[in-house]
């Protein structure tokens, strides 16, 4: 079976790389790597005269003739994408497909650039070089060694199979090539592990060539990636079990699944999948993810009651079912429940202060969007199937991030969700949630990858929000968040790092009720003008460089505007400028608005740490641990805050949780608790 899988991977590589070149050197591999120059809303394009490091830029590697693999996060917000090839020419590129779970996207160009050759093997301490467009300075090469293989717990992507390296990678390197001494591809640079900045500290990650090829083949065949599902749920082994063997434990088996048919039982420990040794549930996810979607069966070993057994995991029935579903699929662009897909009719792209946003229909002539989409504009353009329509911003005394649009001529057959029929979202709520909004790259309204509930709206916040893992991206703001039954539950507002937010429908009702308030015109004008004034200061701030214009007024202007996203951005800029007390004020205001926002709480903790206010960190760190009990980053905050804030109980609670979530990181945490370095001085 191991030989079968190796041969299969080699066959995939051969199919992808028609006309493979001869072995060369890292320098010769430069001709197979490009600089990626996306145009993000509100940003200058890289390569167009901007100071290096200021404009969004990335890299890409040619995996088929004229086909480029890059990192999805580089181009996700892009309205246009160009690439600069090795001879200096800049060519337009088209987005072919993407897989957010692995952070891989494919671009095509009308230029027959030959593909890079794939390395057959990788080994620890093997010399490798990273080739990429670091800091937007053009292609360059940095070298080091392979530090680790099969890394699945870095925490950047849902599905990870990373090659770790100390070859320097910096902003702009994402999507570049990690090559061996012969210039053959070992992986695609994807992530930088940095403590306080984005710059390289010698721990960088590249998507393994094996996973890259697997995803590329699926995207080229189907436009999306379907991963095999064994039908089990795995947990980390208990400490007592780890003393015997490090392997994930089966805690449930789905009826009729490949796992059940293979005879796998609750309590079994999965030791190997195919040729890969697995130590944790994420290792198992990676081992299954690299299997081609056409895999019929794979061998695995497990341990049960001290005995080692070998079984065959068969996916043949599932493969036949998927093939049948593909043949009968009514809507290949929306592989989700029909009721969810139908809700696309309720969402329209809009242009106003933000050139690309979304709006959700709530009545015959009414749409709701985010205030940050319209700013202080009195109108917005709604893009409908019959052409653009001009919408009027309806004043309301509601002070949150929602705005009401009135427009005539919306489609008669468009779905109008019933606001009073949407269910409340409680902590016990399970099931998938879907964001629906404008996809800038595809130029259409679509349903994005589903996610789960992280936390319901907080009862003690100025503004309540739903917190989900449902994928959102620029352009989705103002779109709808729906449940698996297609019922509208909120208005998408954005987020990041796999954590996204939506404003619940109760606030939409407030927006409607406050239209007739005597203060409606004043509140709408003040918040709109305040938002635009803050946005201008944020743009002029120079990214927080000391002495840059605008930072002195950020606190006053942006605090008055009270827009949650702007508060977070202003706080980050102030912290970079060394104005820590002001940064803490901004981030504290954001947390007071939305107490259950994990991203806001983390931003506040960073500002408090930089400001040397360690005792104040402990309460926020404990709350963060409640919100994200399985998130290693949140747990590291609790440990650090507990040690330097002199709350040892907090540090020990964080350590106990981290021991369950990620035992490998827990080892370093234990050393930090037992022999803590002095708290860093205020910067």
Q: Is residue 285 predicted with pLDDT exceeding 50? A: yes
Confidence (pLDDT) at 500: 92
Q: What is the pLDDT of residues 465-490, one digit of tens each?
A: 899 989 888 899 999 999 988 999 99
Average pLDDT, integer, range 274-285: 93
Say if residue 42's pLDDT is above 80: no
Identify the band that residue 11 occupies on the pLDDT scale cut at 50, 70 and 90: very low
The residue from 73, 372, 467, 564 that is catalytic is: 73
pLDDT (mean) for 292-310: 91
The full set of domains in the chain, from first to last, is 26-222 (2.40.10.120), 232-322 (2.30.42.10), 338-512 (2.40.10.120), 516-675 (1.25.40.10)
At 190 the pLDDT is 92
With a pLDDT cut of 90, the percent of the chain lying above it is 50
Which residues, including other chains, have CB under 8 Å from residue 185's CB and lie 6 or more apart? Answer: 29, 61, 63, 116, 117, 118, 119, 177, 178, 179, 209, 212
Q: For residue 21, what pLDDT band results from cuts at 50, 70 and 90?
A: very low
Tell me which DSSP letter residue 198 carries. S
The pLDDT of residue 4? 30
At 550 the pLDDT is 53
Tell me how far CA of residue 53 lies from CA of 28, 357, 542, in angstroms. 26, 27, 12
Over residues 114-122, the mean pLDDT reads 89
Give me 426's structure tokens.
């409680």
Residues 662/668, Cβ–Cβ less than 8 Å: no
Where is pLDDT greater, at 49 or 298?
298
Instruction: Tell me whether strands 297-304 and 269-273 are parallel, antiparallel or unpaired.
Output: antiparallel
pLDDT at 561: 86
What pLDDT does residue 462 have? 75
Residue 326 has pLDDT above 80, yes or no: no
Nearest one of 607, 533, 601, 605 to 566, comparing CA atoms: 533
* pLDDT tens-digit map of 234-267: 998 888 888 889 999 999 999 889 999 999 999 9
Read off the pLDDT of each residue in 425-448 and give the average, rounded to a whole number.
81
Q: Which pLDDT score is estimated for 435?
A: 95
622 pLDDT band, cuts 50/70/90, is very high
Phi, psi of 492 (to 5 degrees): -60, 140
How far apart (Å, rounded) are the C-alpha atoms in residues 290 and 599? 31
* Reported confidence tier of residue 629, pLDDT bands at 50, 70, 90: confident
Q: Which of 82, 99, 103, 354 is flagged as catalytic?
A: 103
Q: pLDDT band for 8, please (50, 70, 90 cuts).
A: very low
Q: Is 324 helix (H, G, I), strand (E, B) or coil?
A: helix
Query: Average pLDDT of 446-465?
Result: 83
Q: What is the pLDDT of residue 320?
A: 65
Active site residue 103: yes
Tokens at 486, concatenated:
């297609």
Question: Does residue 676 have a pLDDT over 50?
Answer: yes
Does the pLDDT of residue 19 top 70, yes or no?
A: no
Q: Give per-residue pLDDT as tens, 509-523.
A: 999 999 989 999 999
Cα separation, 146 vs 165, whole angstroms: 5
Q: Is the pLDDT of residue 105 over 80?
A: yes
Average confidence score pLDDT of the chain: 85
Per-residue pLDDT of 345-404, as tens digits, reads: 999 999 999 888 999 999 999 999 999 999 999 999 999 988 899 999 999 999 999 999
Q: Which range among 1-5, 116-120, 127-131 shows the weakest confidence by mean pLDDT?
A: 1-5
174 is catalytic: yes
Q: What percent of the chain has pLDDT over 70?
A: 87
User: Average pLDDT of 224-242?
Assistant: 88
Name the helix (H) or strand (E) containing 394.
strand 387-394
564 noted as active-site residue: no
Query: What global pTM score does this model have?
Result: 0.56
Catalytic residue among 35, 101, 173, 174: 174
Q: Which residue has the higher pLDDT, 7 or 325?
A: 325
The C-alpha atoms of residue 110 and residue 93 are separated, in whole angstroms, by 8
SS3 content of the chain, % helix, strand, coil (to 5): 35, 25, 40
| HEC string for 499-563 | EEEEEEHHHHHHHHHHHHCCCHHHHHHHHHHHHHHHHHHHHHCHHHCCCCCCHHHHHHHHHHHCC
User: What confidence score (pLDDT) does residue 45 get?
Assistant: 72
* pLDDT for res 47: 64
């Amino acid at each position: 079976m191991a030989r079968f899988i190796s041969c299969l991977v080699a066959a995939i590589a051969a199919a992808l790389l028609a006309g493979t070149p001869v072995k060369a050197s890292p320098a010769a591999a430069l001709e197979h790597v490009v600089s990626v120059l996306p145009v993000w809303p509100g940003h200058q394009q890289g390569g167009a005269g901007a100071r290096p490091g200021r404009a969004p830029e990335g890299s890409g590697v040619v995996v088929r003739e004229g086909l480029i693999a890059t990192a999805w996060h580089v181009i996700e917000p892009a309205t246009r994408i160009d690439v600069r090839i090795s001879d200096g020419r800049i060519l337009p590129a088209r987005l072919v497909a993407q897989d957010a779970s692995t952070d891989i996207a494919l671009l095509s160009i009308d230029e027959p650039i030959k593909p890079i050759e794939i390395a057959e093997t990788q080994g620890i301490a093997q010399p490798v070089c990273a080739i990429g467009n670091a800091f937007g300075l053009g292609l360059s090469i940095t070298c080091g060694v392979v530090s680790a293989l099969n890394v699945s717990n870095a925490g950047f992507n849902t599905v990870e199979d990373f090659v770790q390296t100390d070859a320097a990678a910096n902003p702009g390197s994402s999507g570049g090539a990690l090559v061996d001494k012969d210039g053959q591809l070992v992986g695609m640079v994807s992530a930088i592990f940095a403590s306080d900045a984005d710059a390289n500290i010698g721990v960088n990650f590249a998507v393994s060539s094996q996973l890259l090829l697997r995803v590329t083949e699926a995207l080229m065949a189907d436009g999306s990636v379907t991963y095999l599902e064994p039908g089990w749920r795995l947990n980390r082994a208990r400490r007592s079990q780890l003393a015997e063997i490090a392997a994930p434990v089966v805690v449930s088996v789905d009826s009729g699944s490949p796992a059940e048919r293979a005879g796998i039982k609750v309590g079994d420990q999965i030791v190997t999948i195919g040729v890969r040794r697995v130590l944790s549930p994420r290792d198992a996810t990676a081992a299954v993810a690299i299997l081609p979607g056409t895999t019929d069966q794979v061998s695995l070993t497990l341990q049960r009651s001290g005995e080692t057994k070998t079984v065959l995991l068969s996916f043949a029935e599932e493969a036949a079912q998927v093939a049948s579903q593909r043949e009968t699929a009514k809507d290949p662009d929306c592989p989700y429940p029909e009721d969810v897909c139908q809700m696309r009719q309720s969402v329209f792209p809009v242009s106003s202060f933000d050139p690309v946003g979304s709006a959700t229909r709530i009545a015959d002539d009414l749409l709701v969007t985010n205030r940050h989409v319209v700013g202080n504009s009195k109108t917005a353009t709604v893009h409908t199937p019959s052409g653009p329509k001009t919408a009027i911003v309806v004043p309301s005394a509601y002070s949150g991030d929602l705005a009401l649009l009135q427009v005539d001529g919306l489609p008669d057959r468009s779905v109008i969700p019933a606001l009073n029929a949407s269910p409340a979202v409680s902590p016990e709520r399970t099931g998938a949630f879907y964001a629906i909004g404008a996809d800038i790259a595809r130029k259409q309204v679509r349903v994005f990858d589903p996610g789960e509930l992280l936390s319901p709206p907080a009862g003690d916040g100025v503004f309540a929000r739903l917190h989900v893992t449902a994928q959102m991206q620029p352009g989705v703001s103002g779109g709808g968040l729906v449940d698996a039954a297609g019922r509208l539950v909120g208005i998408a507002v954005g987020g990041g790092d796999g954590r996204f937010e939506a404003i619940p429908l109760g606030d939409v009702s407030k927006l409607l009720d406050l239209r007739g308030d005597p203060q409606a015109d004043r509140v709408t004008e003040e918040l709109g003008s305040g938002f635009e004034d803050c946005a201008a200061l944020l743009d002029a701030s120079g990214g927080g460089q000391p002495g840059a214009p605008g930072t002195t007024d950020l606190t006053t202007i942006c605090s008055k505007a009270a827009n949650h996203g702007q508060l977070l951005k202003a706080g980050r800029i102030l912290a970079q400028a060394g104005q820590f007390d002001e940064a803490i004020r901004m981030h504290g205001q954001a947390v007071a608005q939305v107490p259950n926002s994990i991203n806001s709480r983390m931003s506040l903790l960073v500002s408090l740490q930089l400001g040397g206010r360690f005792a104040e960190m402990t309460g926020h760190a404990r709350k963060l641990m409640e919100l994200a009990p399985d998130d290693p980053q949140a747990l590291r905050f609790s440990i650090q805050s507990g040690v330097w804030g002199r709350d040892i109980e907090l540090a020990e609670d964080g350590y106990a949780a981290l021991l369950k979530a990620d035992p490998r990181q827990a080892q370093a945490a234990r050393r930090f608790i037992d022999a803590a370095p002095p708290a860093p001085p205020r910067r």
